[in-house]
Chains A and B, each alone.
Chain A
Amino acid sequence: MSKELQTSNSQLPKANTQRATHATFRVWRGDANGGQYQDYTASVVPGMVVLDAVHQIQATQANDLACRWNCKAGKCGSCSAEINGKPRLMCMTRLNDLPLEEPVTIQPMKAFPPIRDLVTDVSWNFEVKKKIKPFKPRKPDAADGTWRMAQADVDRVQEFRKCIECFLCQDVCHVLREHALHPEFIGPRFLVYTAALEMNPLDSEDRLGDLKNQHGIGYCNITKCCTTVCPEEIKITDNAIIPLKERVVDQFYDPIRKLLRVFS
């Protein structure tokens, strides 16, 4: 319906004119017992993202190609995968940002056990969250049962609450990815989660002991890989993990406090 209008307007969005018409996608197919890469060719249209290519392959060549997705707008964090070796959301990875003269490799997240094709078993994350002490608000500030908080005091917490639980930070964290210390370390996602609770002005719970003793905060050696891959651009290391580490240090390693604890 818009064809006749296309010449008349100067506000046309910028288009990438040098565009490939087809591209090869090298997709990992397999399950817990192993698998291999398989090549598919998909046609390329303007603005296309990697998830579009996967959908096209699904609809026309491999109906049973397994992948997770929901919103296709970077809001739900379902379509995490490794594209050309980098942990990313498939729905937010534009093809015109990738070199299409060579195959685009798509593989499942490495830090979690494969289920099928691009789908991994992320259930561990849901178990970890349950072990973190829940939000416990202080008594309401007003007679009508509500609280008062200044916007400036919740800015940081709101940054953490942008997290869409895509688990890319967990995927890239070497403590989990290379050393598989899942039983001892909750990973960046749940350090951010803990930080959001600890820094919530209304919260009255104490999670520092758990952070040190059960949740393995000491394992993080602040290489900031998690921050690099976060699609929500949360400053995971600087704004969440380091302040938590400082609080743990203050609480447990400050000699004066240590002394005080002996007498209290």
Chain B
Amino acid sequence: MDYETHEYDVLVVGAGGAGLRAAIEASAGGVRVGLLCKSLLGKAHTVMAEGGIAAALANVDDRDSWQVHFSDTMRGGQYVNNWRMAELHAKEAPDRVRELEAWGAVFDRTSDGRILQRNFGGHRYPRLAHVGDRTGLEMIRTLQDHGIHRGIDVHMEFTVVALLKDGERIAGIFGYERERGRFKVFRASAVILATGGLGRAYRVTSNSWEGTGDGHSLAYRAGAELLDMEFIQFHPTGMIWPPSVQGILVTEGVRGEGGILVNNQGRRFMFDDIPEPYRNQTADNEEEGWQYTQGDKSARRPPELLTRDHVARCINREVRDGRGSPHGGVFLDISWIHKRIQNAEEHIRRKLPSMYHQFKQLADIDITKEPMEVGPTTHYVMGGVRVDADTQMSTVPGLFAAGECAAGINGANRLGGNSLSDLLVFGKRAGEYAARFARENRQPAIDRTQVDLAARDALAPFEATRTENPYTIQHDLQEAMQRLVGIVREEAEMRNALGVIDSLKARARGVAVHGHREYNPGWHTALDLGHLLTVSEAIALSAIERKESRGGHFREDYPEKAAEFAKVNMTVQQGADGAMHLRRIPLPEMPPELKQVIEENK
């Protein structure tokens, strides 16, 4: 059968911050660019980012510099980051933010009219350019509104089913448009994956339905390596009550503005456990912590602004030891600041408008008057497609990845605010180098056999003999991952998870879809299952192999960091036998001048 075929030089999969930025850059490189998005344009998960974009603009504190940002990022990632990506990111983020302003973004302002920056966990100085607590919306809308005038073809509500190859290199994609359920082929010299994360592998997550690890899994099946998959970020503050909102994010900005974490005994428990590497930078009393949030440059930051992995574990400990809130979390309180400042209620509403709105409407809580209940939620995956730091090309020629679906910059834990800047910095780089790749290489050929195979697999759920409900399998997987490969891990449980994943794979082969192909969410869920199962297996395998605790990966059976693992990253790759193979690869050696930078900023 013949399918409608489109041709581009560069094809971008995903239209969040990284995808849009990549498409804009590729287009500036003078090549034909196509952009595929699973939802409508402007709805990607970037829209939900709240706190801000980390960039050492030094508008609020002139002691900031790329060197400090670089050091903060490496420390936050527990030094298993790709140093080159962290370096490029810290150096280029300020230009990427200023560029957004030139494209129409309207950031909050300093008193002298420049872009305002706020405090965030793990960042030594106020560094996050922001717009209230809706920075992601500002960013995606700016890129979208700029991008639509750049000659980029946007194909909305289009889902990629398989990557196509011409020998070793990438040749394009095969997928379907939701509205009519029709298959299409896109031939492209270069493909950029910008598909975001995989939070939907877990039951409690801040991610939308789209976060099913598509890019991770598509790249894996096309022969690319997945790096650091054991490192999942459980954001410490998700909503936990009522049940319907469980997992929805409560921005770290609440703590940046002075919000405190309290257990059911009224104790600020974050003061009880301050990790050694952060002791010099962390306040040891409430007064100093408050002064820091109010811009006192001589004060050290409150322990609520320690890195996310640590805060999440502390919350977990409070709940486990019986000091939690009524619904199994802890209290996050911003209303207390009325003791410190006048017009506190108005101040909170102005600084955190969407948090105010969110709690008022969804939980009947007025955050200006009472504390919120919060608990950890699966938020972000540090792991992803292994790419070259400068070009963002994977080990498959012509296949690039940027943003959350790529790995390297964040190491074992991502600092808040470093994601939006990552999207901009590496989205741009991916676009630039993909355009160059397309110009320098001949057009690839489409292999009909691959297309026919992908089409057959995609239609299999419509066969009448099948009975498994895709939603039930997805739910069972989410329960298993939450329980067995969650925030606190242990070998036997993770081996158990691998067994569950195997049995769910078998069930997924019998997944059934009702109705026809037009805008059918059941069909879509059935196709997503394969991706979710692949990434879940990669997470469990990598997590079993890392027999230590580091960043987002915490092992109850190995609760300390181990020197042996400080020097390696885990990767998984599909073997010739079709099975997932894991290996350890040595960390790239950091040049002495960067080691020096880290030393100076200790």
Report B432-475 CB contacts with A as 1/0, cut-off 8 Å: 00000000000000000000000000000000000001111001
Which of B214-222, B359-367, B411-419, B530-538 sits within the interface?
A: B359-367
Q: How many Å lie between the Cα of A117 and that of B136 in the bound state?
A: 30
Q: How far is the CA of A109 from the CA of B154 in the complex (A)?
A: 24
Q: How far is the CA of A65 from the CA of B513 in the complex (A)?
A: 12
Q: Could you say which residues of chain A place their CB within 8 Å of the CB of B39?
A: 68, 70, 78
The one of A6, A64, A94, A200 that contacts B522, using a Cβ cutoff of 8 Å: A64
- Say yes or no: is B539 at the interface (Cβ < 8 Å to chain A): no
B264 at the interface (CB under 8 A from A): yes
B43 to chain A, nearest CB (A): 5
The answer on a CB contact under 8 Å between B98 and A63 is no
Question: With A63-B513, A72-B208 in contact, do A9 and B519 touch (Cβ < 8 Å)?
Answer: no
Known: A47-B242, A135-B103. A115 touches B361 (CB 8 A): no
A4 within 8 A of B: yes
Shortest distance in angstroms between A184's beta carbon and chain B's nearest beta carbon? 22
Task: Please name the residue on chain B nearest to A93 by beta carbon.
Answer: B361
Given A2-B325, A74-B361, A146-B98: A11 touches B47 (CB 8 Å cut-off): no
**Complexed CA–CA distance, A130 and B154 (Å):** 12
Interface segment out of the listed A34-42, A150-158, A210-218, A220-228: A150-158
Rounded to whole angstroms, the CA-CA distance of A196 and B243 in the bound complex is 37
Contact assessment for A72 and B248 in the assembled complex, using a CB-CB cutoff below 8 Å: yes
Of B132, B245, B522, the residue contacting A63 (CB under 8 A) is B522
Chain B residues with a Cβ closer than 8 Å to the other chain, count: 84
A5 & B326 in contact (Cβ 8 Å cutoff): yes
CB–CB B471/A2 < 8 A: no
**Which of B44, B101, B242, B325 is most buried by chain A, counting CB atoms within 10 A of its CB?**
B242
* A23 within 8 Å of B (CB atoms): no
Q: Which of B105-113, B118-126, B281-289, B593-601 contacts A (4 or more CB under 8 A)?
A: B105-113
What chain B residues lie within 8 Å of A46 (beta carbons)? 241-244
How many whole Å from B194's CB to the nearest CB in chain A? 16
Q: State which residues 38-86 of A face B: CB under 8 Å.
A: 45-49, 52, 58-60, 62-78
Residue of A nearest to B47 (CB): A76
Q: B328 contacts which chain A residues (CB < 8 A)?
A: 1-2, 5
Stretch of A159-167, A172-180, A253-261 on the interface side = A159-167
Which residues of chain B are near A130, meaning CB under 8 Å?
A: 148-149
Docked CA distance A63–B42 (Å): 26
Residue A122 at the chain B interface, CB threshold 8 Å: yes
Which residue of chain B has the shortest Cβ distance to A166 in the bound complex?
B43
Interface membership of A263, Cβ < 8 A: no
Kindly identify which residue among B103, B358, B364, B365 contacts A74, using a CB–CB cutoff of 8 Å: B358
| Cβ contacts under 8 Å, A151 to chain B | 108-109, 116
Is B520 in contact with chain A by the CB < 8 A criterion?
A: yes
- Contact, CB under 8 Å: B113 / A149: yes
Contacts of B243 in A (CB 8 A): 45-48
B234-256 with Cβ < 8 A to chain A: 241-245, 248-249
Q: Is the beta-carbon distance between A75 and B137 smaller than 8 angstroms?
A: yes
Chain B residue with the shortest CB-CB distance to A157 = B106
With known contacts A151-B108, A158-B131, A129–B148 Cβ distance under 8 A: yes
Q: Which residues of A contact B365 (CB under 8 A)?
A: 13
Residues of B within 8 A of A65 (CB): 521
B112-A135 in contact (CB<8A): no
State in angstroms the CA–CA spacing of A162 and B132 once bound together.
Answer: 10
B146 to chain A: which residues have CB within 8 Å?
Answer: 134-135
Q: Which residue of B40, B329, B362, B472 is within 8 Å of A68 (Cβ)?
A: B40
Contacts of A4 in B (CB 8 A): 322
Complex: A134 Cα to B146 Cα, angstroms: 7
Whether A2 lies near B326 (C-beta < 8 A) is yes
Cβ-defined contact, B109 with A11, below 8 A = no
Q: Which of B40, B210, B244, B475 contacts A47 (CB 8 A)?
A: B244
> Which chain B residue shows the least CB distance to A96?
B364
A164→B40 CA distance, assembly (Å): 12
Q: Is B25 close to A, CB under 8 A?
A: no
How far does the alpha carbon of A64 sit from the alpha carbon of B521 in the complex, in Å?
A: 5
CB of A36, distance to nearest CB on chain B (Å): 16
Chain A residue at minimal CB-CB distance from B325: A9
Query: Interface residues of A: mostly helix, strand, loop or mixed?
Result: loop
A88–B354 Cα distance when bound, in Å, is 17
CA distance A30 to B117 in the complex (A): 49
Indicate whether B167 reaches chain A with its CB closer than 8 angstroms: no
Cβ contacts under 8 Å, B112 to chain A: 148
Among A59, A68, A149, A197, the residue within 8 A (CB) of B109 is: A149
Quick one: which of A85-114 are within 8 Å of B by CB?
92, 94
Residues in chain A near residue B522, CB distance under 8 A: 58, 63-64
In the complex, the answer to whether A70 meets B363 with C-beta atoms within 8 Å is no
Closest A residue, CB atoms, query B105: A161
Interface contact A47-B363, CB-CB below 8 Å: yes
Contacts of B362 in A (CB 8 A): 47, 49, 73, 92, 94
A256 CB to nearest B CB, Å: 33
- Residues in B with CB closer than 8 Å to A49 are 244, 362
* A14 CB contacts on chain B under 8 angstroms: 364
CB nearest to B210 among chain A residues: A70
Q: Is B114 an interface residue (CB 8 A)?
A: yes
Among B40, B245, B370, B518, chain A packs the most CB atoms within 10 A around the CB of B40
A128-B327 Cα distance, complex, nearest whole Å: 46
Q: Which of B48, B357, B370 contacts A71 (CB 8 A)?
A: B48
Asked whether A200 lies within 8 Å of B104 as measured between CB atoms, the reply is yes
Contact B138 A161 (CB under 8 A): yes
Tell me the residues in window 129-171 of chain B with beta carbons closer than 8 Å to chain A beta carbons: 131-132, 134, 136-138, 141, 145-146, 148-149, 154, 156
A135 to B105, CA, bound (A): 10
In the complex, what residues of A have CB within 8 A of residue B40's CB?
68, 78, 122, 126
Q: What residues of chain B lie closer than 8 Å to A123, measured between beta carbons?
A: 156
Q: Are B331 and A11 in contact (CB under 8 A)?
A: yes
Beyond the given A2-B319, A134-B145, please list 11 additional residue pairs across the A-B interface where CB-CB is below 8 A: A5-B322, A9-B325, A46-B241, A49-B244, A63-B469, A63-B513, A75-B137, A78-B39, A92-B361, A135-B146, A150-B113
Q: Identify the 6 closest CB pairs spanning chains A and B, nearest first.
A: A47-B242, A63-B522, A2-B328, A148-B113, A64-B515, A135-B104
Query: Could you tell me which A residues sit within 8 Å of B by CB distance?
Result: 1-2, 4-6, 8-9, 11-14, 31, 45-49, 52, 58-60, 62-78, 92, 94, 115-117, 119, 121-123, 126, 129-130, 134-135, 137, 140, 145-151, 154, 157-158, 161-162, 164-165, 197, 200, 203
Q: Could you list 13 A-B pairs, sorted by A, with CB under 8 Å?
A: A2-B327, A62-B514, A63-B469, A66-B519, A72-B208, A75-B354, A122-B40, A129-B145, A134-B146, A135-B104, A137-B102, A154-B109, A161-B138
Residues of B at the A interface (CB closer than 8 Å) are 39-45, 47-48, 98, 101-104, 106, 108-109, 112-116, 131-132, 134, 136-138, 141, 145-146, 148-149, 154, 156, 179, 208-210, 241-245, 248-249, 264, 319-320, 322, 324-329, 331, 354, 357-358, 361-365, 370-371, 373, 469-472, 475, 513-516, 518-523, 525
